Structure 1
Amino acid sequence: MGPSTATTSADLSQRQWVFAFGLVTTLFFTWGFAYGLLDVLNAHFQVIFGIDKTKSALLQLAYFGAYFLWAPIAGMIMDRRGYKFGIHLGLTLYSLGAIFFWPSAKFAKYGGFIGCTFVIGCGLSTLEVAANSYISVLGSPKYAAARLNFSQGFQGVASVTGPLIASRFFFRGANATSLSSVQWTYLGVAGLGVVLNILFYFCHLPEIRGTTEQEPDAVNATHQPVEPFWKQWRCVFGFVAQTGYVGAQVGVAAFAVNYFVDQGVGLDASKASELFSLCQMTFTIGRFVGVVLLRYIDSALLLSIYGVGCSVFCLCVSQIPGRGGIGCFFALFFFESICYPCIFTLGTKNLGPYTKRGSGLIVMGIGGGAWYPPAQGALADRTFTRHSYLVPFSGYIVMSLYAIGLVVHQARQGGFRIRHIEEDAEDHRNSNHSLNEKDDMAHQEYTVRV
């Protein structure tokens, strides 16, 4: 279904809404699993190919570099062809990249793994543009951050699975020095992508347009001028914040196994991988806790609090040896939990006709994950793994400044004032699918002061 036949979420029945929400949420599990495997492959390839931490970070450079290069293109494609086409394209690229892990492992070519990882990154960046923006507009803007946190919670569930598989099959016995387990694991990943592609082909997925995602003429008719896309400052600075945050998050996870082993508490690579999966579990719990908090706390304010928490605990991770540093590592993962969804929803809020393009820009910020790990790996090779965590610390500072800036701006402008009648009207439309003429006028006349 193309954009020309788009509807709003208010036009869906409750059953249609639940089905669309659930189906798109499965995509978050897909890339959470791929991302969880990526971080442990980093340490595994150091052993297999005899490379240092800097070279092993080329996997992250390929994966997140694909986001930087491909996400804007994916956004433009979906502007023309719609969400469902973007999902099919993303799953196809994802499956192709995973399939070619087999010959790369068969012939033990590290360059092949890097190329395949780039293709997987292109596929997942397409899925992120589609799924993140779809969930954001699939309901009231007031609860967009809570919805996205809930859906991305399943990404966290999947990211726990990756390290657990690695600890059982990558680092034990003969598999510790071979690539055979990698072959079979990624063949399964490819199969998952194919199955999801088939399901999406046969399932009806409504093309949703947000309540503020109108054509320029329609927006002007309500006397709300549409600024050029490059003047959408909330989105532009959201891209900068996302770049800093994702770069920091990826750097933290990429060297987690190395960090635990180097802390001198008697952990080998297998045990460290299991500990990393517990960190991911902490992250996932934090996501679902965030869903509850975001119903009562403004998303910009909560992002500010969590951003400061990330900054403080990352600094502690870089300075505290032994078990104390590991404890701070767990706290860091908890405070990371809500950051990505909140930055995404804050950066794409009220973009009107630029919603898909803005989503592409924010997802492009995930490309920050390409730059931080090589810098962190270079520092780790020259000093200690612990000290290299000063690199992601800088990314958390950037994110915190964005969130605090939004809070200050809202306070000066009196906050986001959305009339209660608009919220009541939208909830009524979601449950009963219709409004009388008076309610329709009230729904269109809400005011947003940024």
Structure 2
Amino acid sequence: MSEINTNQAYVAAADNQRNYTLPLAAMTTLFFLWGFITVMNDLLIPRLKAVFDLTYTEAMLIQFCFFGAYFIMSLPAGYLVKRFGYKKGVVSGLIIASTGCLLFYPAVAVHEYWLFLGALFVLASGVTILQVSANPYVAALGPAKTAPSRLNLAQALNSLGTTVGPIVGKFLLFGGSAALAVEAATADTVKVPYLFLAAALLTIAVVFAVLKLPEIKEHSEEHDCQAKGHSLTEAPHLVFGVLAIFCYVGGEVAIGSFFVNFLGEADIAGLAEHEAANYLAYYWGGAMVGRFIGSAALQKVAAHKALLFNACMTITLLLVTINTSGLVAMYAVIAIGLFNSIMFPTIFTLAIQSLSSLTSRGSGWLCLAIVGGALVPLLQGYAADTIGLQTSFYIPMVCYIFIAWYAMSLPKLLGKWQAKLGN
């Protein structure tokens, strides 16, 4: 999830003429890689489910361990970055993430599912540190006035990673044909992609260690006293925004997690894992396209109205997914990616609106809510085991219903907070 908001960063170096092309290229590559890493979980789930003969609930422990790391490590990562600086935070995150990838090798050798989960937790812990460190670095790699442009470029590369990941991952995990997919139905196929990722992350860590990057001065709001005397719990648009982020990340991750298995159902498409992986790329590719469309639309449409429209469209598509079969259900679940696109940054922006000097702390609350990606898929996994895979999609639908309510209620919620500030 690369959209995590961090404090605005500014260049404090005296030499404004420094060429930051190389470090910026390295950083955008990093955004691509962690998008690739995150979406690989969607392919890892059906592979390990088959290898270890797991229930859906057990298979969803993959997302539980991965996104649970965001909740556990976000605050320690913040302290690490504050103590040692953003550059060391980036390097540390890369090394830890690489270590997590390397741990897949002994996990395969021992052939124990819990070792795979441990490796994923270590990998996600490194990615969490990168998330906390990376956006300020991108903002610092050039003039402050062009920082938003650089951040958008980096996030676009993240979306490209989630789009390319399923295409590459299907060959590495399932083989390029049905015959190879059957032969590759072992945990051994997991080693190659994660050893590749480990090497890539270590290489970038070395690059960042030797590069001279700018000193970063955090944007301080301590002199802004507009919100003085108020607490975050008094801001209803933030409190419910935290729940909306929880629901969004949970719903998005849950749908992606069950995508391959859903298309493998006989009454849906009956696709083999390596074939379904092709359509997973369309699901995430739709999110990338939707970001470009949304960035233009949001210049003319109020953010909460755009959020409401997208949430309602997603609810409609989920109803179609649950109550139809064949190609109709398949294309309905694929189309959800397009409408997921703008939700995270839109909810985030709306939730921190008018927080003034409380903005940084409010952002921290929203980052912790990413734990929804750990809990909602686990809940849907239990539902899939008890009431059926297709019916289990009611779980993420409830999440999007809450998001729609939040979008409709936002003006009233924000008005209550602004009234308190006016008192």
Question: TM above 0.5, one fold?
Answer: yes
Give, in whole Å, the separation in 2 of the partners of 1:198 and 1:99. 17
Counterpart in the other structure of 1:344: 348
For residues 366-377 of structure 1, what are the structure 2 equivalents within 5 Å? Answer: 366-377=370-381
Deviating more after overlay: 193-202 vs 148-157? 148-157
Counterpart in the other structure of 2:393: 389
Q: Tell me whether 1:199 sits opposite 2:212 in the alignment.
A: no
Q: Tell me whether 1:171 sits opposite 2:180 in the alignment.
A: no
Query: Could you tell me how far 1:236 is from its partner in structure 2?
Result: 3.5
Q: 1:316-374 CA deviation, whole Å, 9 max, x = no partner?
A: 22222111111211221100011122223333456555555433322211111111112
Counterpart in the other structure of 1:299: 303
Q: Tell me whether 1:65 sits opposite 2:68 in the alignment.
A: yes
Match of 1:188 among 196, 220, 235: 196
- Assess, with a 3 A threshold, how the Cα gap between structure 1 residues 147 and 290 changes in structure 2: closer, same or farther: farther
Tell me if structure 2 keeps the 8 A contact 1:149–1:290. no
Tell me if structure 2 keeps the 8 A contact 1:149–1:288. no
Gaps of 5+ in 2: 1-8
Tell me if structure 1 keeps the 8 A contact 2:48–2:187. no
Counterpart in the other structure of 2:329: 325
- Assess, with a 3 A threshold, how the Cα gap between structure 1 residues 15 and 297 changes in structure 2: closer, same or farther: farther
Give, in whole Å, the separation in 2 of the partners of 1:383 and 1:48. 23
- Assess, with a 3 A threshold, how the Cα gap between structure 1 residues 409 and 371 changes in structure 2: closer, same or farther: closer
Tell me if structure 2 keeps the 8 A contact 1:84–1:207. no
The AA in structure 1 aligned to 2:294 is G
**Sequence identity, in percent?**
28
Deviating more after overlay: 80-89 vs 242-251? 80-89
Q: Tell me whether 1:398 sits opposite 2:402 in the alignment.
A: yes
Gaps of 5+ in 1: 1-5, 416-447
The AA in structure 2 aligned to 1:187 is L
For residues 188-337 of structure 1, what are the structure 2 equivalents within 5 Å? Answer: 188-201=196-209, 202-210=211-219, 213-214=220-221, 216=222, 218-220=223-225, 225=228, 227-262=230-265, 263-337=267-341
Tell me if structure 1 keeps the 8 A contact 2:246–2:372. yes
Q: Tell me whether 1:48 sits opposite 2:51 in the alignment.
A: yes
Query: Could you tell me how far 1:93 is from its partner in structure 2?
Result: 1.7
Name the TM-score, length of structure 2 as normaliser. 0.84
Give, in whole Å, the separation in 2 of the partners of 1:386 and 1:82. 47
Q: Tell me whether 1:161 sits opposite 2:164 in the alignment.
A: yes
Aligned partner of residue 170 in structure 1, secondary structure: helix
The AA in structure 2 aligned to 1:209 is E
Give, in whole Å, the separation in 1 of the partners of 2:62 and 2:232. 33
- Assess, with a 3 A threshold, how the Cα gap between structure 1 residues 203 and 9 changes in structure 2: closer, same or farther: closer
The AA in structure 1 aligned to 2:199 is G
Give, in whole Å, the separation in 1 of the partners of 2:352 and 2:137. 11
Deviating more after overlay: 10-19 vs 357-366? 10-19
Q: 1:385-441 CA deviation, whole Å, 9 max, x = no partner?
A: 2111101111112222233322445689999xxxxxxxxxxxxxxxxxxxxxxxxxx
Counterpart in the other structure of 1:360: 364
Tell me if structure 2 keeps the 8 A contact 1:317–1:329. yes
Q: Tell me whether 1:378 sits opposite 2:400 in the alignment.
A: no
Tell me if structure 2 keeps the 8 A contact 1:171–1:270. yes
Q: 1:138-182 CA deviation, whole Å, 9 max, x = no partner?
A: 9679x96x8766532322211122221232232232653222321
Counterpart in the other structure of 1:430: none
Give, in whole Å, the separation in 1 of the partners of 2:262 and 2:13. 48
The AA in structure 2 aligned to 1:307 is A
Query: Could you tell me how far 1:41 is from its partner in structure 2?
Result: 0.6
Query: Could you tell me how far 1:378 is from its partner in structure 2?
Result: 1.7
